[in-house]
Structure 1
Amino acid sequence: MVVAAPSSGSGKTTVATGLMAALRERGLRVSPHKVGPDYIDPGYHALATGRPGRNLDPWLVGEERVAPLFLHGAAGCDVAVVEGVMGLFDGKGDTDLASTAHVARLLEAPVVLVVDAARQSRSVAAVAHGFATFDPRVRVGGVVLNRVGSDRHEELCRAALEAAGVPVLGAIRRDDAVATPSRHLGLVPAAEREGEAVAAVERLA
């Protein structure tokens, strides 16, 4: 599955890493992947899965090599989780080349859309519906609501998404214990956080 979002900062790394760790805790062999050349997120993926995080980048290797590299990395695993980059359809220039959507199409993999629900309720359905219908070649399997504030907030979001025909796969409350610090190049690498990073991954699971 591909974990994507409408934009950066929506919680892709949080959800992807937590999902990887939770699946591993269930006894599954999880293959972690990341769209693009990023090396920081795969460090968290490796903590969560016990396997090296692998990059999938059509811009660097050509789209014809993405699926073979994915299959090589996922050999012997039960499930593969691919964390996207930026917004789902954001690619090179005014195209979706090397975007998360591009990789999802190449792998024919379903997309889990992470939507930051903070400061909105019914509007999450408009966002999710737009992303689910924008490109019929990209299959959005459902939504994970992130940064939900309360039971009532979750009920409003779920009702709106249900009415829009977009499945809700789960909801995550705001939790400072799982926040991952950032700096100008992105997240602070897991190796620089040592025990703190391990504790965060366990909390995410």
Structure 2
Amino acid sequence: MATPVGGSSRKAILEAANRVGEASNDFLRCVTQDGEEQTLESGQRSFAEEERAYQDELLGLAKEVANATAGLVVKAKHLATQTNLDPEHQQDVVYAATQTGLCTSQLVACTKVLAPTIHQPTCQQQLSESAREVSVAVEGVVKAARGAGQSVYDQQQNLSPEEAAEVNEAVQDVDNAATEVRNTLDRLNAHLLKESVR
């Protein structure tokens, strides 16, 4: 039976996967560049150039997801610092945000590793599954944030209107940040779909 991977071990694995992906990308670029463009007329793009452009955009979109997720994590942690939340809801929000960060790190690592071979259906499926895990994790953050907001609403008689409004605003900020992550995931998935129909 496999033992669960600890946080530091998982980070080391993701960093190693990143390095392998970058090295594979560099190697494949060197191999495909040698003399491939000699027979092409000026202005015409080779298949290898199109592949490189596609891969670069794919990596750029994965980074956009990571940036949007970082924004979501910041908003979620801000919500968790609200003194009017009970400790259980604070922990739920922090845990959900941490899981989203981990899933996104895995997505970026997966993208770097798979980009050179993304034309293969199994690689596309793996990347799509990794993106789906981020999406599920984002919904977990939204659910935890709304649960925290509901708990504040339920005890509203104990809070000033300003205190309740502050928590509600923090919940809305999480919702807005989650929408941005969803939008970046949609762009990533749409780009991935382009490769599957080529």
Which band: TM-score by shorter chain? under 0.3
Structure with greater proportional helix content = 2
Structure with larger RCO (C-alpha < 8 A, sep 6+): 2
Instruction: Calculate the TM-score normalised by the size of structure 2.
Output: 0.21
Instruction: Calculate the TM-score normalised by the size of structure 1.
Output: 0.21
Structure with greater proportional strand content = 1
